[in-house]
């Protein structure tokens, strides 16, 4: 059963929005673009593994793809979280090639491709952080103490796995995607007793979806980018000129002379991904460079955004992201 479908990951959407809103000469553009390219390649490869997980475990687990949590201090991006009456299972996916070394002696992870070696955050440490967060979430919300287990799956047939000092308990939780089916009996046979009731599972499913939030602040803080560094205005959907002008109930581009009725939709998406998950008429008017509050109000009301509050206290927000 699918509890949350995988769509384009929020971190990719945020990185795309960030690249649209950063000045062309910003010193972090290259680094951000490299992360975007790497994450997009990983996302494309995950569809196969998603179908494999759903085929092997979908009848026994509720599957949540791409969850993003925050405890106010740190963020936790979980590729796949599966819950059942018997356990919660985290499946972390890495789409990497070359020689991948899990060095548990030094708590490090690095990739060798030819003569080049590059270090990355240790997946074992990472997934154990996620494990601790889910355990804490369950305890704080008074769920029975169900076991939280994990697997790390390398979703690239060309990768070669190397282990240094990795314990047998951790090592058996790391595999390549083509052998993941062999791990299924370990999952099914190791956990026999039902801990969570159907009511618990429904309650937990709602909690996970409620706690899932865009990791906006994490990415801006990671690259040390301030909100005032970002460009405002509405992009031309034809030539990407910024900012275009609101004229006669349309958007007009002074560069390519084209008109658009809905160019503001992408601008609102950028705002929700980078600035805030809600927006007032005044905030939208300033962000979109609209002179008339009546015009900005009409545009906001014409969208499928939800709203709450009255008069100047009214704000608009998307029901889901991506919107």
- Measured in whole angstroms, how far is the alpha carbon of residue 43 from the centre of its chain? 10
Between 171 and 52, the higher pLDDT residue: 171
Tokens 């002074």 belong to residue:
254
Which of 106, 95, 109, 150 minimizes the C-alpha distance to 127?
Answer: 150
pLDDT at site 322:
65
Q: CA–CA distance from 53 to each of 66, 186, 206, 249 (Å)? A: 14, 14, 21, 48
Tokens of 66: 């791409």
pTM of the model as a whole: 0.74
pLDDT of residue 50: 81
Structure token pair of residue 78: 């979980």
Partners of residue 252 on adjacent β-strands = 245, 259
Question: C-alpha distances in angstroms, 110 versus 32, 94, 103, 298, 309?
Answer: 20, 12, 8, 53, 51
Partners of 175 in the β-ladder: 153
In this prediction, residue 242 has a pLDDT band, given cuts at 50, 70 and 90, of very high
CA distance 96 to 154: 7
How far is it, in rounded angstroms, from Cα 3 to Cα 61? 9
Give pLDDT tens digits for 264-310: 999 999 999 999 889 999 999 999 999 999 999 999 999 989 999 98
Percent of the chain whose predicted confidence (pLDDT) is above 70 = 98
C-alpha 252: how far from chain center: 33
Which two three-digit tokens encode residue 292?
Answer: 């008339």
Instruction: State the pLDDT confidence band at 3, using cuts at 50, 70 and 90.
Output: confident
């Amino acid at each position: 059963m699918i509890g949350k479908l995988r769509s384009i990951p929020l971190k990719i959407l945020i990185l795309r929005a960030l690249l649209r809103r950063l000045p062309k000469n910003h010193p972090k553009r290259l680094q951000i673009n490299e992360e975007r390219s790497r994450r997009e390649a990983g996302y494309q490869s995950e569809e196969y593994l998603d179908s494999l997980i759903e085929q092997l475990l979908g009848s026994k687990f509720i599957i949540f793809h791409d969850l993003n949590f925050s405890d106010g201090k740190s963020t936790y991006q979980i590729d796949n979280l599966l819950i059942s009456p018997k356990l919660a299972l985290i499946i972390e996916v890495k789409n990497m090639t070359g020689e991948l070394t899990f060095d548990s002696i030094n708590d490090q992870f690095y990739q060798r491709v030819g003569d080049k070696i590059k270090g990355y955050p240790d997946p074992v440490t990472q997934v154990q952080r996620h494990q601790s967060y889910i355990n804490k979430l369950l305890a704080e919300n008074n769920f029975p103490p169900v076991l939280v287990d994990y697997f790390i799956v390398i979703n690239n047939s060309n990768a070669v796995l190397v282990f240094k000092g990795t314990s047998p308990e951790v090592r058996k939780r790391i595999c390549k995607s083509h052998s993941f089916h062999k791990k299924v009996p370990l999952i099914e046979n190791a956990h026999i007793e039902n801990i969570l009731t159907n009511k618990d599972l429904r309650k937990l499913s709602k909690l996970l979806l409620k706690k899932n939030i865009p990791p906006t602040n994490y990415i801006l803080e990671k690259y040390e980018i301030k909100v005032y560094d970002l460009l405002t205005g509405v992009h031309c959907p034809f030539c990407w000129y910024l900012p275009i002008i609101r004229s006669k109930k349309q958007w007009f581009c002074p560069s390519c002379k084209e008109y658009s009725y809905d160019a503001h939709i992408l601008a609102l998406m950028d705002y929700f991904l980078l600035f805030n998950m809600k927006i007032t008429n005044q905030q939208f008017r300033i962000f979109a460079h609209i002179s008339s509050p009546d015009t900005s109000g009409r545009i906001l009301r014409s969208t499928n955004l939800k709203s709450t509050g009255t008069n100047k206290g009214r704000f608009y927000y998307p029901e889901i992201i991506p919107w």
